[in-house]
Amino acid sequence: MRVETTALAGLLVLVPDVRHDERGFFTRTFEVDLARAHGLDPDAFVQDSQSRSRQGVVRGLHGRGGAGEAKLVRCANGAVHDVVVDIRPGSATFGRWLATRLDDVEHRHLYIPAGFLHGHQTLTPTADVCYRIDREHNQAEDLAVRYDDPDLGVEWPAPVTVVSDRDAHAPSWQHLQHLLASDQ
User: Which one from 62, 81, 107, 120 is the annotated catalytic residue?
Assistant: 62
Catalytic residue list contains 131: yes
Question: Would residue 147 show up in a list of annotated catalytic residues for this protein?
Answer: no
Report in angstroms the alpha-carbon separations of 45 from 74, 129, 156, 157. Answer: 15, 16, 29, 31
Distance CA 137, CA 124 (A): 28
Q: Where are the beta strands (DSSP E) in 33-70?
A: 47-54, 58-64
Identity of the amino acid at 139 = Q
Amino acid at the residue 34: L
**Catalytic residue of the set 109, 120, 131, 147:** 131
- Sequence-distant (6+) residues with CB within 8 A of 23 are none
Catalytic residue numbers read 62, 131
